[in-house]
Amino acid sequence: MNFVFTIVVPVYNEEDNLLRVEKELLAYTKIAIKPTKILFVNDGSKDKSQEIIETICNRNTEFSFISFKENRGLSAAIKAGFDYTNTELVGYIDSDLQTAPEDFNLLLEHIGTYDLVTGVRANRKDSLVKNMSSKIANGIRRSFTHDGMDDTGCPLKVIKTEYAQRIPMFRGLHRFLPAMILLQEGKIIQIPVQHFPRIAGQAKFGVWNRLLGPLADCFAYLWMKKKYINYTVSKQG
């Protein structure tokens, strides 16, 4: 099959979720509007995640994986997934499946016109503290980036791979993907998607990760924006 779309799934200690990930993503490949494959990125998990990932990949040709030697964080896992993608389009979803794989079809409908399509979580099913800290963090980030996005932390995105692979590597990358596409003079849009409570495993982000950490990352983004190199080749011979 000639695949067009790769879904990157970052994994860190998600042994209780992975069989459900397999079931739901395999079901999605049957209804996807673009031929789709899945790439697990194991971010140095210390549980049985790698063993389960290899079992899944051995029995499903649509699944493959890369595995880090040690834990490097969500942004590193997402960036590695982008770098190891060889399809026209790339996206990602968290392995906790608080967003629905079938909603990728909503995003894919717009990717022809846009270079990044991100979900925005409607009726979020998180705690009050988590929702409020995310809302504040998103407001701070928008004031720095002017990207117009309401929910850059939504773990459901589709990007043209040529744009994704030009994004420079830095911690906190996952919060700035729309802004990094704008730096490339790309077009972005947000689309409402479903959201569900986490039913297994442990959340990897606390108040520090969602609020104070992103504030520090905003200053890093401003520095990068000032130094960012962007060019277009008009002729080659």
And the tokens for 30?
């049957």
Structure confidence at residue 54 (pLDDT): 98
What confidence tens digit (pLDDT) does each residue in 116-168 have?
Answer: 999 998 766 555 556 566 666 666 666 666 676 767 778 899 999 999 999 98
What are φ and ψ of residue 177, in 5° steps? -60, -45
Residue 236 lies inside a defined structural domain of this protein:
no
- Domain hosting 189: range is 5-227
Structure confidence at residue 193 (pLDDT): 94
Q: What is the pTM of this model?
A: 0.82
The 63-67 sheet, strands edge to edge: 63-67, 36-42, 5-11, 89-93, 156-160, 116-121, 188-193
And the tokens for 130?
């988590």
Residue 159 lies inside a defined structural domain of this protein:
yes
Residue 232 lies inside a defined structural domain of this protein:
no
Please provide the average confidence, as pLDDT, over all residues in the chain. Answer: 86
Residue 148 lies inside a defined structural domain of this protein:
yes
Residue 218 lies inside a defined structural domain of this protein:
yes
Mean pLDDT, residues 65-91: 96
Tell me, rounded to whole angstroms, the distance of Cα 210 from its chain centroid. 16
Residue 103 lies inside a defined structural domain of this protein:
yes
User: What is the three-class DSSP state of 47?
Assistant: coil
Domain count of the fold of the chain:
1
Residue 237 lies inside a defined structural domain of this protein:
no
CATH number at residue 210: 3.90.550.10
Structure confidence at residue 168 (pLDDT): 84
Residues in contact with 10: Cβ distance below 8 Å, sequence separation at least 6, in sequence order: 41, 43, 74, 77, 78, 81, 92, 94, 95
Structure confidence at residue 201 (pLDDT): 54
Mean pLDDT, residues 185-204: 79
Mean pLDDT, residues 70-76: 93
Structure confidence at residue 107 (pLDDT): 97
Residue 235 lies inside a defined structural domain of this protein:
no
Q: Find the farthest-apart pair of alpha carbons in the chain and give their distance in angstroms, rounded.
A: 58
pLDDT band at 200 (very low <50, low <70, confident <90, very high): low
| pLDDT over 70 (residue 179) | yes
Residues in contact with 12: Cβ distance below 8 Å, sequence separation at least 6, in sequence order: 42, 43, 44, 45, 49, 71, 74, 77, 204
